[in-house]
Amino acid sequence: MARLDQRIEIARQALATLEELVHEAPGKIVRDATIQRFEYTFEAVWKAAQAVLHDRYGVELASPKPVIRASFENNLLSEEETRTALAMVDHRNLTAHTYNEDLANEIFSAIPDYRCVLRAWIERLKM
């Protein structure tokens, strides 16, 4: 169980670093830092969810979208949060493999909603 608690704590700490940037003045550096922190926060959260699903529900999954769907099925995400989380996967995949100014701005503008979903997901993982 300590491993599970550690995964959740890592996700919580990653989210805290993302939330540190909320009050920073917008600009390219803050945008890019926010996107980078979003990437590793998302990774930490879905992996924590993966561990919770395995340990608590006996569900073995290996990638983010099935973990998100199983989180919905096990009441760790609402239907709306699930849709947002699935969009997060797509944005996270795009940030990792391409750079485009318009895309960076699009993702940056979505991160406030993503933060809310990530925060709620982590809280439910702790239960």
pLDDT at 127: 87
Helix, strand and coil content of the chain, in percent to the nearest 5, comes to 80, 0, 20
Superfamily of domain 2-126: Nucleotidyltransferases  domain 2 (1.20.120.330)
How far apart (Å, rounded) are the C-alpha atoms in residues 41 and 63?
15
The pTM assigned to this predicted structure is 0.93
| Residue-wise DSSP of 32-83 | HHHHHHHHHHHHHHHHHHHHHHHHHH-----SHHHHHHHHHHTTSS-HHHHH
Residue 9's CB is within 10 A of a number of other CB atoms, namely 14
Q: Give the confidence band of 43 by pLDDT, cuts at 50, 70, 90.
A: very high
Secondary structure class of 26 (helix, strand, coil): coil
pLDDT at 47: 97
- Please write the tens of the pLDDT for every residue from 90-101: 999 888 766 788
